Amino acid sequence: MYELEYVRKRKRKIRAAIIGGISAIGVSVLVIVAFLGRFVGTFTVSLEANNVDISLSEKKSGPLSSFLRINSLVPFEEFTYSEFDRKFGDDVIDSEDTTYALGGNYSPKNPDVLQSFDFFKYTFYLHNLGKSDVLYNFKLKVEDNIAAPDGRNLLGTLRVMIYEEGHKTIYGQAESVPHYEEGVPDYRPPISTSVDDDDFMGYVDKTFSSTETITSFSGKPLNIGEAKRYTIVTWLEGFRSSGFAPTGATIKLGVEINAYENQ
């Protein structure tokens, strides 16, 4: 663990560090830890096949593996959703041609040194190498959620964006106080649609399923020889979010893909 300089300020700049993993058939964890200016962690993708022949890769053409790892991820700063479109666009984010360092900030003294993240994105493929079609369930779970000493946790500021073959869905924790859409209460939390805090703000597509599950859905059948692309993006939303990321809070997210033969 290395001490880093305190982050630059944009009103407030709370850094977090991110470790962890996405797993298929079994589960490992994606961990976001809100510690100011600290260097922590790894990111892993692991796979266990049960009665089906599936594999993982970072590129559609391979190489194939049952385990993927990124070592030593750097701290996070608050970010706003509007910056994705302004700086990148979906085609850049949801692409095997861009690495997890896409959302990184580099040292002004050494442009080769990644010193912080605005967001973390990871693209991977799920391959069906077997002789039958495969069905699977995709679940993004909260494995652990430890509050800071002041009692706050990271769920209120955490935003998760999942691309499935180019289709994007954004998730956030339901607000305790709703806004109203045509008189109907809406508990979706905000994301920014502009870098100007005075402009209109938007909302996530869906709220977390619960405090234990971000989302859960059944994927379409993975046909023989097919490879399906997923990109998972996480950030700490800094635009009118529910408070700010508390120092010392920890949240662990795990992606679990349970696959079985389509009979």
Q: Which residue has the higher pLDDT, 11 or 214?
A: 214
Q: Locate 170 and state its tokens.
A: 């954004």
Q: Is 184 exposed, middle or buried (0-12, 13-18, 19+ CB in 10 A)?
A: exposed
Give tens-digit pLDDT for 3-35: 222 233 333 444 444 444 444 443 344 555 544
Domain residue extents for the chain: 17-261
79: confidence class by pLDDT, cuts 50, 70, 90: confident
- Locate all alpha helices (DSSP H) within the chain, ordered by sequence: 82-87, 90-93
Torsion of CA 160, 164, 165, 169, to 10 degrees: -60
pTM value?
A: 0.80
65: confidence class by pLDDT, cuts 50, 70, 90: confident
226: confidence class by pLDDT, cuts 50, 70, 90: very high
Q: Which residue has the higher pLDDT, 125 or 73?
A: 125
Residue 191 to residue 80: CA distance in whole angstroms: 7
| Predicted confidence (pLDDT) at residue 97 exceeds the cutoff of 80 | yes
